[in-house]
Amino acid sequence: MTAPRLEINLSKIRQNTRVLVDRLKPRGISVTGVTKAVCGDPRIAKAMLAGGAIGLADARMANVERLRQAGITCPVLMIRTPMLSQVEQIVSSCDASCNTETEIIASLAAAALLQGTNHEIILMVEMGDLREGIMPEDLTDIALQVTRTPGVLLRGIGANFACLAGPAPTAEDMAALSALANDVEAECGPFVDVISGGSSANLQWALDTEVVGRVNSLRLGEAILLGTDPVSGNPISGLHTDAFVLQAEVIETKAKSKLAPLKLSDPALSALSLVPGNHWKTRSILAIGLQDTDPTGLTFPAAVSYIGATSDHIVVETTNCPLRIGSEITLRLNYSALLHTMAAPDVAKVFCSSRPAADGGAASRNGRHPVLL
pLDDT of residue 369: 35
User: What's the CA gap between 77 and 68, in Å, rounded?
Assistant: 12
Secondary structure in 3-state letters for 48-87: HHHCCCCEEEECCHHHHHHHHHCCCCCCEEECCCCCHHHH
Going by C-alpha positions, the residue among 47, 51, 54, 55 that lies closest to residue 19 is 51
pLDDT of residue 264: 57
pLDDT digits (tens, 9 = 90+) for 125-183: 999 999 999 999 999 999 999 999 999 999 999 999 999 887 889 999 999 999 999 99
Cβ within 8 Å of residue 190, ≥6 positions away: none
pLDDT of residue 368: 36
- Phi, psi (rounded to 5 degrees) for 184: -65, -45
User: What is the phi-psi region of residue 233: left when phi exceeds 0, alpha when psi lies from -120 to 50, beta otherwise?
Assistant: left
pTM: 0.89
- Phi, psi (rounded to 5 degrees) for 317: -130, 140
* Cα-based distances in Å from 248 to 39, 346, 349: 21, 12, 13
Domains and CATH numbers, the chain: 10-226 (3.20.20.10), 244-370 (2.40.37)
What sections of the chain are H helices per DSSP?
Answer: 10-24, 42-50, 61-69, 87-93, 102-114, 139-147, 171-188, 203-208, 222-226, 267-272, 335-343
User: What's the CA gap between 321 and 253, in Å, rounded?
Assistant: 11
pLDDT of residue 373: 28
pLDDT of residue 265: 60
Secondary structure in 3-state letters for 116-146: CCCEEEEEEECCCCCCCCECHHHHHHHHHHH
Task: List, for the chain, all residue ranges whose pLDDT scores fall below the cut of 70.
Answer: 258-280, 354-373
User: What's the CA gap between 87 and 170, in Å, rounded?
Assistant: 34
**Inter-residue contact 237 to 227 (CB < 8 Å):** no
Amino acid found at 55: G
pLDDT digits (tens, 9 = 90+) for 169-228: 999 999 999 999 999 999 998 889 999 999 999 999 999 998 999 999 999 999 999 999
Give the percent of the chain with pLDDT over 90. Answer: 82
User: What is the phi-psi region of residue 9: left when phi exceeds 0, alpha when psi lies from -120 to 50, beta otherwise?
Assistant: beta
Collapsing DSSP states into helix, strand and coil, what is residue 216?
coil
